[in-house]
Amino acid sequence: MPPEIVNELWQLIPTVIYFVVGLVLFGFSIWLMERLTPFSLRKEIEEDQNVALGIVIGAALIGLAIILAAVIK
């Protein structure tokens, strides 16, 4: 295999590791939000059609994703 391709494959390993770490942290934060709220987020958004809660949770997840991207980069 040419050395350029081997070098590119070695550079891919940290990217995959950062992706997995970011995904785990993002999933943990969603789990933590679910546990810290006194009500069920899933029930409020899906069954009760609480649009405002959906917007707030979505904004929180976008903010968290921006923070995680900055930390990992």
Q: For 25-54, how does the pLDDT look when each residue is reduced to its tens digit (9 = 90+)?
A: 889 988 999 999 999 888 999 999 999 999
C-alpha neighbours within 13 Å on the C-beta side of residue 43 = 5
What is d(CA 7, CA 5) in angstroms, rounded to the nearest whole number? 5
Output the CA angle 57-67-14, nearest 5 degrees. 120
Residues 6+ positions from 49 with CB-CB distance below 8 Å: none
- Does the structure show a pLDDT above 80 at 73? no
Q: How far apart are CA 64 and CA 24, in angstroms?
A: 13
pTM over 0.75: no
Domain tally for the chain?
1
Q: Which domain holds residue 50?
A: 3-72
- For 9-30, the pLDDT digits (tens) are 888 888 889 889 888 988 998 8
**pLDDT band, very low/low/confident/very high, at 55 (cuts 50, 70, 90):** very high
